């Protein structure tokens, strides 16, 4: 998985990046809807996935032209089509108590939670100005995001599984501890500093102070993202979102932390590049 990530980042092939992000995002969205269906809750799975795919592809091509406003307008258009669509779909289904409202709410939440949040990884690529030769450099910040986020996940697991004694939020995830949370922050800061120091030319907007501060912020966001998916899994009665990745679970289990760290890094970089 790391080899794939490094290839996509250093190849500078924007279409390959789109394929990877869209594949992970759509797979995560599929797993979300499948968890909803398995728990007996209603949703418009196929329509939600189509709108999610349109969000990934349309935003990418709008951002690729360096037109940020067009990308945001396209997202709003997809959301508008989605809202019209779920209401139209519901008009042809029986209206039984709260079922129509639940169907539309669960479907809308899936689109926002997975597709909209994960699409910030594509936005990060284009929030950084291209180099004088016209090449994108924002993909290195996506690599930075993945490294820091996954270091946070690894720190939480390694420290929590060995010395964790004090439950963090037992009503959501009994296995997570305060010690694991501390380990997550330490590993996130460590990963952030190492990446910025090893590749200084690729991260011109980040100095050591930024690396430390961002590491802590992303470590906190990573834990929130992990706990957020735990709420969904506990509500739907499943242990993992899927079984595609042995030892990890499903695609949504893989990207859950990135759903919250991605938007945070995007707005941080947007502030720095103004």
Residues 34 and 94 in one domain: yes
Residues 81 and 197 in one domain: no
Question: What average pLDDT does this structure show over 163-190?
Answer: 91
Q: How many domains does the chain have?
A: 2
Which of 49, 84, 118 represents a domain boundary (last residue)? 118
Predicted confidence at residue 4, as pLDDT, reads 83
Which of 50, 84, 118 represents a domain boundary (last residue)? 118
Residues 189 and 89 in one domain: no
pTM of the predicted model, to two decimals? 0.91
Confidence band, pLDDT 50/70/90 cuts, at residue 124? very high
Which of 58, 88, 118 represents a domain boundary (last residue)? 118
Residue environment code for 133-171, b if the CB has 16+ CB neighbours within 10 A, otherwise e: eeebbbbbbbbbbbbbbbbbbebbbebbeeebeeebeee
Asked if pLDDT for residue 243 goes beyond 80, the answer is no
Q: In a 3-state reduction of DSSP, which class is residue 42?
A: coil
Please write the tens of the pLDDT for every residue from 26-35. Answer: 999 999 999 9
pLDDT above 70 as % of the chain: 97
Q: In a 3-state reduction of DSSP, which class is residue 58?
A: helix
Residues 103 and 160 in one domain: no
Tokens representing residue 96 in the block: 């039984």
Residue 4 lies in a domain: no
Between 214 and 130, the higher pLDDT residue: 214
Residues 149 and 74 in one domain: no
Domain with 90 in it: 11-118
Asked if pLDDT for residue 234 goes beyond 90, the answer is no
Asked if pLDDT for residue 24 goes beyond 80, the answer is yes
Question: Measured between alpha carbons, how far is 260 from 257 in angstroms, rounded to an integer?
Answer: 6
Asked if pLDDT for residue 206 goes beyond 70, the answer is yes
Asked if pLDDT for residue 246 goes beyond 80, the answer is no
Tokens representing residue 227 in the block: 């706990």
Between 274 and 35, the higher pLDDT residue: 35
Question: Measured between alpha carbons, how far is 185 from 151 in angstroms, rounded to an integer?
Answer: 9
């Amino acid at each position: 998985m790391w080899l794939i990530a490094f290839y996509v980042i250093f190849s500078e092939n924007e279409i390959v990046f789109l394929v990877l992000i869209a594949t992970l995002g759509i797979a995560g969205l599929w797993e979300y809807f499948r968890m909803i269906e398995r728990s007996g809750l209603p949703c418009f799975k196929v329509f939600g996935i189509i709108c999610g795919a349109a969000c990934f592809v349309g935003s990418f091509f709008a951002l690729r032209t360096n037109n940020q406003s067009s990308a945001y307008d396209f997202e709003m258009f997809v959301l508008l089509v989605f809202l019209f669509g779920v209401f139209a779909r519901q008009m042809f289904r029986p209206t039984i108590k709260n079922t129509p409202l639940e169907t539309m709410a669960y479907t809308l939440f899936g689109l926002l939670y997975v597709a909209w949040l994960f699409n910030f990884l594509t936005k990060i690529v284009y929030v950084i100005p291209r180099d004088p030769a016209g090449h994108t450099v924002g993909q290195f910040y996506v690599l930075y995001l993945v490294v820091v986020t996954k270091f946070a996940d690894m720190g939480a697991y390694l420290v929590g599984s060995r010395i964790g004694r004090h439950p963090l939020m037992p009503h959501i995830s009994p296995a997570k501890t305060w010690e694991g949370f501390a380990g997550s922050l330490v590993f996130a800061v460590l990963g952030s500093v190492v990446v910025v120091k090893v590749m200084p030319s690729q991260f011109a907007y980040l100095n050591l102070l930024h690396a430390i501060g961002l590491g802590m912020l992303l470590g906190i966001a990573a834990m929130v993202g992990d706990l957020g998916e735990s709420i969904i899994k506990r509500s739907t009665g499943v242990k993992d979102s899927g079984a595609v990745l042995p030892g990890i679970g499903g695609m949504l289990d893989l990207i859950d932390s990135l759903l919250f760290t991605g938007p945070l890094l995007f707005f941080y970089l947007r502030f720095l590049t103004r």
